[in-house]
Amino acid sequence: MDKLTLIPLGGFGEFGKNCTVLKYGDDLLVIDVGLQFPDDDMPGVDLVIPDFTYLVQHRAQIQGIVFTHGHEDHIGALPYLLAQIPAKLYATPLTRGLIEGKLREDRLMSSAELHTILPGQEITLGAFKVTAYHVNHSIPDSIGLAIRTPLGLVVHTGDFKIDHTPIDGKTIDLGALAKLSMEGVLLLLSDSTNAESIGYTMSESRIIDSLQQVFSHAQGRIIIATFASLISRIQLVIQIAAQFGRKVAIAGRSMEESISIAEKLGYISFPAGLRMPITAINALPPNEVCILATGSQGEPTAALGRMAKGHFRNVTINEGDTVVYSSKAIPGNETAIYRTIDELFRLGADVIYGEQAGVHVSGHAAQEELKLLLNLLRPLYFVPMHGAHRMLYRHAQLAYSIGYSREDVFVLENGHTLECTAAGARLGEVIAVNTVYVDGSLVGDVGNTVLRDRMTLSQDGFVIAKVTVDGVLGRIAQVPELISQGFIWEPTSAELLHQAQEAIAGIVSSCNGEFDADTLAQRVKGSLERLFYNETKRRPVVIPMIIQS
């Protein structure tokens, strides 16, 4: 029977690593290959990427990968996929530029066959006919996808909001959406990032007023921290700086790179003479300086983080400087961000941050926009995507509130497939999808066991008990040695370590010369764990090392 299967590989029940697959017959269409930044219960992990097992297994069936826009959570895991299989990639010009930058750095260009797509042009990828339509988001050249299949039309929104006054003048193509609606939509996959926010998301233009106010009041330098990928925001700051007669310098490698790509492709432009190298900025009077900096998430090694610590070579924060956080806190980064803000205040800067300051707007649709899209398209079936579980559920509730029945809305998790046939839509098989951690240069070797060990070690550290036993006489040959880290401050713990040594000696002598190393090790471990817990209420990892001399 004719069957269209939706295979959610990433972004369903989590923030980031967005990756959606559609299957019709033997043909697979992949949409986005994003990465995720680690949570605070993933210590030491650098990145999280989707599980590519399914894609690698079905490599021959993949007709192409289409990208909706150039943010890391949509393109960032591509190098890890291309390291395993080659692929045909389809993207709008800016997205393509950002992908190329990434692939060149990782020497993966030969694994990719790159194609430029433009809104309105139809491309055929096996059984799928894909037409992009323009959407508003916090990076230019963002698209949603109309995907025609033999079973019907699927609409994938990508990340979007409805902005009637975007900085680049290009509003979301509501006309195209209206036409799709007339055609009849089988299945809608829609962005849930802001499904918790009531009302409408403000236009990017809304920031102009707030930033102009900051520029008109500031006496010293203005430092604006934002995401390197917020191309529209960066263009806006350049325009306002020009208005107020301030030169613009860039601090931070990732910002320099994304500006350079966007400038080459015509998505950012500097009025003549406005841009200054960061090294030349100290020669200017403070009220003629505007610095665009990375580090809005409290990253200690990014430009703003180093400025706050006095470690940034070309910029020292002075009394009278104004620092603007034109960004939002990604959940989990709050502590680090606030620590940086505290440092900046201490150095005498005025710091402008937080939602109420009006210097940031979201790039994602809020509840009224999401309902508008649902009502405009009136799909037969609806799957909320891109968001933590609670956001998907909130998005589903929005659908119920405009009359959808629970049978036609599917809150999916990664790996839980949805099958559409002429008879309707229903949950399909569940394919195994793991969380793949990238730590250092290794991909996927760190699993939940290693992470659990790290969490345990971070709580109370460890104690190594080196027990040297006379193999012949079966008694302690040397005073047991205890090495600990992260458990207790050594100078205060002499008494406790002495108790531990006595406990070990007691165990060895109670063996009366009859023991094997494994049994002794187990007894030492158990005894020390009890002792440490009773005396300190802590549970360090205890590692016995039995040495027979």
Contact 223, 341 (CB under 8 A): no
Rounded to a whole number of angstroms, the minimum distance from the CB of residue 439 to a copy of itself is: 6
For the sheet containing 187-191, what is the strand order? 122-125, 128-134, 143-149, 152-156, 187-191, 381-385
In the Cβ-directed half-sphere of 514, how many Cα atoms lie within 13 Å? Answer: 1
Among 200, 244, 270, 393, binds a copy of itself (CB under 8 A): 393
Rounded to a whole number of angstroms, the minimum distance from the CB of residue 458 to a copy of itself is: 3
Closer to a copy of itself at the Cβ: 270 or 345?
345
- Distance, CA of 191 to CA of 201 (rounded, Å): 13
- Distance, CA of 24 to CA of 1 (rounded, Å): 11
String of contacts with a copy of itself for each residue 348-387, x by CB under 8 A: --xx--x-x-------------------------------
- Distance, CA of 357 to CA of 210 (rounded, Å): 7
Catalytic residue flag (residue 71)? no
Contact 465, 524 (CB under 8 A): yes
Q: Is 43 in the site for a copy of itself (CB under 8 A)?
A: yes
Among 271, 338, 429, 526, binds a copy of itself (CB under 8 A): 338
Q: Is 175 in the site for a copy of itself (CB under 8 A)?
A: no
Catalytic residue flag (residue 74)? no
Scanning 431-536, the segments in alpha helix (DSSP H) are 448-460, 494-510, 517-536
Q: Is 346 in the site for a copy of itself (CB under 8 A)?
A: yes
Rounded to a whole number of angstroms, the minimum distance from the CB of residue 99 to a copy of itself is: 24
Rounded to a whole number of angstroms, the minimum distance from the CB of residue 419 to a copy of itself is: 22
Residues 474-493 that bind a copy of itself (CB under 8 A): 483, 485-489, 492-493
Q: Is 464 in the site for a copy of itself (CB under 8 A)?
A: yes
Q: How far is CA 104 from CA 100, 257, 268, 351, in A?
A: 6, 13, 22, 38
167: three-class secondary structure by DSSP: coil
Q: Which residues pair with 424 in a beta bridge?
A: 421
The catalytic position among 159, 191, 350, 460 is 191
Residues 410-439 that bind a copy of itself (CB under 8 A): 439
Rounded to a whole number of angstroms, the minimum distance from the CB of residue 491 to a copy of itself is: 9
Closer to a copy of itself at the Cβ: 336 or 372?
336
Q: Is 83 in the site for a copy of itself (CB under 8 A)?
A: no
Q: Where are the beta strands (DSSP E) in 109-186?
A: 112-116, 122-125, 128-134, 143-149, 152-156
Neighbours of 75 (CB within 10 A): 26
Rounded to a whole number of angstroms, the minimum distance from the CB of residue 100 to a copy of itself is: 25
String of contacts with a copy of itself for each residue 44-73, x by CB under 8 A: x-----------------------------
Closest-CA residue to 237 (of 221, 225, 229):
225
- Check the CA dihedral 490-492-495-499 and report its sign: negative
Residues 219-258 that bind a copy of itself (CB under 8 A): none
What counts of helices (H) and strands (E) characterise the chain? Answer: 15, 27
Which positions lie near a copy of itself, rule CB under 8 A? 13, 39-41, 43-44, 196-198, 331-332, 334-335, 338, 341-342, 345-346, 350-351, 354, 356, 388-390, 393, 397, 439-442, 445-447, 449-450, 453-462, 464, 466, 468, 483, 485-489, 492-493, 535-538, 541, 543, 545, 547, 549
Active-site residue list:
191, 364
